[in-house]
Amino acid sequence: MATRRIRTYSELIQIPTFEDRYAYLRLGGIVGEETFGIERHLNQSFYRSPEWRKVRRDVIVRDNGCDLGMPGFQIYGPIIIHHIMPITLEDLEEGSDLILDPNNLICVSDRTHNAIHFGDKSLLPQVPIERRPGDTCPWKK
């Protein structure tokens, strides 16, 4: 039986680039793959709990509302709090420390969240190209 590599927010914030943070978190699942199946009501109930709402607010403040906690990648729109180590039905049923541990949570945009889960790097935000005077004139190279 293979052991899972434990990943944490403490390690993640040491990674200097957005792309490398994505690579650290990438799960590469399958589109349409069920996480909780018919037991989905359990995780939805958890995400409405006062404990989750408080830790969610704390994580947003800690990450300044930035995608992957990366300065300069502000999230304009809904902020998703992603579990770095994915939680399972058993984690919810047993009240695992992983589900509310800020060291297992990070702010992400919806597109980044989908990229992490499904391995589609094209969904990641692109850094604007730095423009210079005359750089769009093909004869001025």
The two structure tokens encoding residue 135 = 């750089």
| Domain of 65, in residue numbers | 57-124
Mean pLDDT, the chain, rounded, equals 84
44, part of any domain: no
75, part of any domain: yes
- Domain total for the chain? 1
Share of the chain above pLDDT 70, in %: 81
137, part of any domain: no
The two structure tokens encoding residue 61 = 């403040």
Q: Output 92 or 132, whichever has higher pLDDT.
A: 92
pLDDT (tens digit per residue) in 44-100: 788 899 999 999 999 999 999 999 999 999 999 999 999 999 888 888 888 889 999
Distance CA 20, CA 25 (A): 9
27: helix, strand or coil: coil
Q: Output 140 or 95, whichever has higher pLDDT.
A: 95
104, part of any domain: yes
139, part of any domain: no
Dihedrals phi, psi of 85, to nearest 5 degrees: -95, 110
106, part of any domain: yes
